[in-house]
Structure 1
Amino acid sequence: MRAAVVTAFGGPEAVEIVETDVPEPAARQIRIKVAAAALNPVDAGVRAGVFGGAGKRLGLGWDVAGTVDAVGVATGWTVGDEVVALVYGTAKSLGTHADHVIVDADAVAKAPASVDAVHAATLPLNALTAAQALDLLALEPGRSLLVTGAAGAVGGYAVQLAAHRGLAVTGVARAADEELVRSLGATRFAAGAVAPGSVDGVLDAAILGAAALEWVRDGGVFTGVIPHAHPASVRGVRTGSVEVAADGARLAELVALVDAGVLTPRVAETFALDGAVKAHARLAEGGLRGRVVLVP
C-alpha cells in the first residue's frame, strides 16, 4: 500500500509517498481502508522536525474517515462499518495519510450519516481539540468566551460548540471573516483589539498567547491549543492548554452533533494522496477556511 512519510525534515518537498506492507490489526484494533484524511498543521510540524524523531520514518496524518476492512479480537466493530477516528501521535511510523491505517478500537466512532467522508475527515482532531479545550475552560452557560482564530478549523468548531453550550461567544478573526464567524454562532466579533479584562475566558486557537490573555478578566480562565505552551498565570487567571486525546465515545457525541446540524465540517480543498507534496504546499500558503483533505 501507499503511505505519506518523512525520513528527513524540511518543507513540503520532504514528504515522500512510499510502498509498504498492509498492516494487520492486533487485539482491540481495527484496520480502516482510508476514504479521506485531513491534513493539519501538526503534520507540517512533524514534517519540519518540530517534534523530533530525526533518523526515523515518521508517518503523517491524524484524522481518518473510511471503512473497516479487518478487525482484531474484542473490538466491537465489524468489517464494512463506516467510521471516523483519531490516530494520535507525532512519532508513529504510519499515519492516516495512507491507503490503510490501524486504529485502536476505542478511538473509533461511526461516521456521520449527513456528510461525505471528505467532510467527516475534518472532524476527529479539530473537533476533539475544541471540545476538550472547552472542557478545560469549564465555563458555565451564560458566561462569556472569546475564541481566537474563530474562522479556522479548531476555532470554528469551538465557536459552534461553545454557542451550543450556552456561552456568549466573541469570535476574533480577519474582518473579511465576520459573516462566517457570526454564522457559526458568535454573538460578537472582533477583527483587532479587544478591551482588556472583558471576557470570562479565552480559547486561543490562533496561538496569540499573552496578548489574548490580557482580554480575560481577573480570576478568569485561558486555554491554548499547543500542549504546555500557554502563558503563565497573571491576575488570578487560570491558564492551561489542551493536549488532544483519542476518545471514540466523545467523537461519537461530536458525530451526532454533525448529524443534528450543530457542527459544520468545512473542506477547503482536496488532493490525491500522490499529491501530498502539493497539499502541504497549499497548507503552507495559509488563508484556508476549512481543512485540506487527502483522498487516496
Structure 2
Amino acid sequence: MRAVVVNSFGGPEVVEVVETELPEPGAREVRIKVAAAALNPVDAGVRAGVFGGAGKRIGLGWDVAGTVDAVGVATAWSVGDEVVALDYGMVKPVGAHAEYVVVPADAVAKAPTTVDAVHAATLPLNALTAEQALGLLEVTPGQSLLVTGAAGAVGGYAVQIAAHRGISVTALAREADEELVRSLGAARFTAGAIEAGSFDAVLDAAVLGEPALEWVREGGRYVGVIPHAEPASVRGVWTGAVEVSADGARLAELVRLVDDGVLTTRVAETFALDEAAKAHARLDEGGVRGRLVLVP
C-alpha cells in the first residue's frame, strides 16, 4: 500500500509517498481503508522534527475517515462499518496519510451521516482537542470565555461547542473573519484591544501565551494547545495545555453534534495522496480556513 512518510526532517520537500506493507490489526484493533485524511499543523511539526525521531521513517497523519476493512479479536466493530478515528502518535512508522491504517478499537466512532468522508476527516483531532480543552477550563453556562484563533479549526470547534452549552463566547480573530466566527456562535467579536482580566477563561488556540493570560480574571483559567508550553501562573490563574487523547466515545458525541447541525466541518481544499508534498507546501503558506484533506 502507499503511505506518506518522512525519512529526514525539513520542509515540504522531504515528504515522500512510499510503498509499504499492509498493516494487520491485533487484538482490540481495527484496520481502516482510508477514504480521506486531514492534514494538520502537527503533521508539519512532525515533518520538521519538532517531536524527534531522527533516523527513523515516520508516518504522517492523525485524522482518518473510512471503512473498517479488518478487525482483531475483542472488538465490537465489523468489516464494512463507516467510521472516523484519531490515529494518535508523534513518531510512528505509518500514519493516517496512507491507503490503510490500524488504530485501537476504542479510538473509533461511527462516521457522521450528514457529511461526506472528506468533511468527516476534519473532525477527530481538532474537535477532540477543542472538547478536551474546554474540559480543562471547567467553564460553565453563564461564564465568559475568550477563544483566540477562533477562525481556525480548533478555535472554531471550541466556539461552537461552548456556545451550544450556553457559555458566553467572545471570539478573537482577524477583522476579515468576523462574519465567520459569529456564524459559529460567538456572541461577541474582537480583533484586539481587550481589557485585562475580562474573562473567566481563555482558550488560547492562537498560541499567544502571556498576552492572552492577562485577559483572564484573577483566579480564572487559561488553557493553551501546545502541551507543556503554557505560561506560568499569575494572579491565581490556573494555567495548563491540552494534550489531545484518542477517545472513541467522546468522538461519537462530537459526531452526533455534526449530524445535529451543531458542529460545522470545514474543508479548504483536497489533494490526492500522491500530492502530499504539495499539500504541505499549501499548509506552510498559511491563511487556510478549514482543513486540507488527502484522498487516497
Does the pair score TM above 0.5? yes
Could you say which residue in structure 1 is the equivalent of 2:201? 201
Where does 1:1-296 land on structure 2 (aligned, <5 Å)? Answer: 1-296=1-296
Distance 1:277 1:91 in 2: 18
Q: CA deviation at 1:271?
A: 0.3
TM superposition score normalised by structure 1: 1.00
1:80 to partner: Cα distance: 0.3
Query: Size of the alignment, in residue pairs?
Result: 296
The separation in 2 between residues aligned to 1:102 and 1:165, in whole angstroms, is 34
Q: SS in structure 2 opposite 1:217?
A: strand
Q: Distance in 2 between matches of 1:22 and 1:267?
A: 28
Please give the alpha-carbon distance, in whole angstroms, between the structure 2 residues aligned to 1:169 and 1:17.
42
What SS does structure 2 have at the residue aligned with 1:228? coil
- Report runs of 4+ in structure 1 exceeding 3 Å deviation: none
Distance 1:258 1:199 in 2: 28
Question: Root-mean-square deviation (CA), in Å?
Answer: 0.4
Q: Give 2:163's aligned amino acid.
A: A
Q: Distance in 1 between matches of 2:45 and 2:235?
A: 33
CA distance in 2, matches of 1:91, 1:10: 15
- TM-score of the superposed pair, with normalisation by structure 2: 1.00
Q: Which residues of structure 2 form unaligned runs of 5+?
A: none
Over residues 219-238 of structure 1, what are the superposed CA-to-partner deviations in whole Å (9 max), with x where a residue is unaligned?
11000010111000000101
Per-residue deviation at 1:192? 1.6
Q: Alignment partner of 2:162: what SS?
A: helix
SS at match of 2:236: coil
Q: Could you tell me which amino acid in structure 2 is paired with residue 190 of structure 1?
A: T
1:193 Cα offset (Å): 2.2
